[in-house]
Amino acid sequence: MHTLDQLNRGELKGVVRLQLSDNLTTFPEAIFDLADSLEILDLSNNKLSELPADLSRLKKLRILFCSNNRFTHLPKVLGQCESLEMIGFKSNQITTVSSDSLPTLTRWLILTDNKIDSLPEDVGKLVRLQKLALAGNRLTALPDSIANCRKLELLRLSANQLAVFPDILLTLPRLAWLAFSGNPFCAARDPHNDFKTVQFRDLELHQVLGQGASGVISLATWRENIFNFSDSVAVKVFKGDVTSDGFPEDELDACLAVGNHNNLVQPLAKVTEQNCSALVMELIPSHYTNLGKPPSLESCTRDTFALDQRYSMDKIAHIIAQVDQLVAHFCEKKVSHGDLYAHNALINEEGHILFGDFGAASKYANLSANQQHGIERIERRALGFFIDDMLGLCIEEDRGSELYKSLQSHAFY
């Protein structure tokens, strides 16, 4: 994080990335002094509502984040920034997105948690678009031209006002990570009244184990253990607002709808109180570690991995077989995970996989047979990307094996 004083004193000359959060109400003119070097500009968590008309003077700007500000429209000046390819305006008050505001090079567009009721008809001009996050808006339909966004791989449409499932999405050849829960066309949530329920006061939370878009996971012990669960458990306390993937209530519903599986973190009980929604889960043994790391700004939609992370072909085949069986289980339960990524998986020394995080999951049993098959193809495409990622971790001496070649035929590039 940088400061406005540093910027104004000229101490940031030559920086490639600038991050300013200082209750800004106007765009600091001194940012233009960085035009020869600045590629990433993060002005999130301020009070901005406009950008300067000459923003294109930042001729090297590739990435712009302005989340948690006060914009009511996506600034048209963005369309004049010829090098801009990643745009994030999450949690503003945006109602209008015009065609002029969308640079043709856009690969990553984040407009989560705004008040947008429509997209420009020519959104299909964004032929490089790979990631599009629109959860938590007021969209009632998608333009037909989105069919031209043939590189689109990740799409978040949850918590909108879509009356029917957008069949046009089933024509996109690379779409692999789709979330659409919390729309009028979706089935009603199941209250899961037969699933064990506990009171939040029965639990004592300790240190935080992890957190994501939809909630915080903590280690917990019991004050009152009425079901004789293990002494130590994990508790995910859901946030109350819409997340980048959708409503926390839909995550809880989908997680319980898929039931138990050897490769899923086992849910034990739920907490559904007026001011608290939480899920009690088995505590994952400490020898499990993350299989992958989230996508970077450079990789956009694809996971990243440690440079020295390598596995034998036999271990990779074992990993892939488990995830393949898990996807089959999801299809049987008519739940799309929507976020089938290595960074959402944990692995132990023996290669056993545990998946979690149903934030982007969507139930689809109420849709037509054709729509159900299309959604399952999308989920299988995510599996194909996962296979490609795993093969990329194969030790060199196994890359010419028949097993490698066989699995390579199921990978998606």
pLDDT at 239 over 90: no
Instruction: Decide if pLDDT at 240 tops 90.
Output: no
Examine the pLDDT at 140 and tell me if it is beyond 90.
Answer: yes
Q: Which domain covers residue 365, as residue numbers?
A: 289-408
> At how many degrees (to 10) do helices 313-333 and 369-391 cross?
160
Buried b vs exposed e over 362-393: b needs ≥16 C-beta within 10 Å?
bbbeebeeebbebbbebbbbbbebbbbbbbeb
pLDDT at residue 214, rounded to an integer: 81
Instruction: Please report which confidence band the pLDDT of residue 13 belongs to, taking 50, 70 and 90 as the band edges.
Output: very high
Q: Are residues 276 and 321 in the same domain?
A: no
- How far, CA to CA in Å, does 282 sit from each of 26, 260, 268? 48, 12, 7
**Residue type (1 letter), 230:** S
Block residue for tokens 């629109």: 134
In the block, which residue shows the tokens 């012990």?
221
Q: Are residues 260 and 307 in the same domain?
A: no
| pLDDT single digits (tens) 374-394 | 999 999 999 999 999 999 999
131 is in an annotated binding site: no
Identify whether residues 277 and 314 lie together within a single domain.
no
pLDDT, one tens digit per residue, over 189-199 is 999 999 999 99
Same domain, 54 and 140: yes
Which CATH number characterizes residue 10's domain? 3.80.10.10
Span 120-125, average pLDDT: 96
Q: Determine what percent of the chain falls in helix, strand and coil, rounding each to the nearest 5.
A: 25, 20, 55
- Does 347 lie in the same domain as 235? no
Region 335-345: mean pLDDT is 97
Residue that terminates a domain, selected from 281, 313, 328: 281
Q: Give the pLDDT score at 213.
A: 77
Same domain membership, residue 6 and residue 146 = yes
The answer to whether 261 touches 337, Cβ cutoff 8 Å, is no
Of 339, 331, 338, nearest to 365 by C-alpha is 331
63 assigned to some structural domain: yes
Q: What percent of the chain has pLDDT over 90?
A: 92
**Res. 349: pLDDT tops 80:** yes
Q: What is the DSSP letter of 397?
A: G
pLDDT of residue 158: 97
Q: Are residues 366 and 253 in the same domain?
A: no
Position 319 confidence tier, pLDDT thresholds 50, 70, 90: very high
The number of domains in the chain is: 3
In a domain, 213, yes or no: yes
Mean pLDDT computed over every residue of the chain: 95
The three-state secondary structure class of 146 is helix
Domain end: 281, 311, 335, which one? 281
How would you class 180 by CB atoms within 10 Å of its CB: exposed for 0-12, middle for 13-18, buried for 19 or more?
buried
Residue 97: pLDDT over 90 = yes
Reply yes or no on whether the pLDDT at 241 is more than 80: no
Residue 184 domain flag: no
Q: What does the block give as tokens for 101?
A: 């505001």
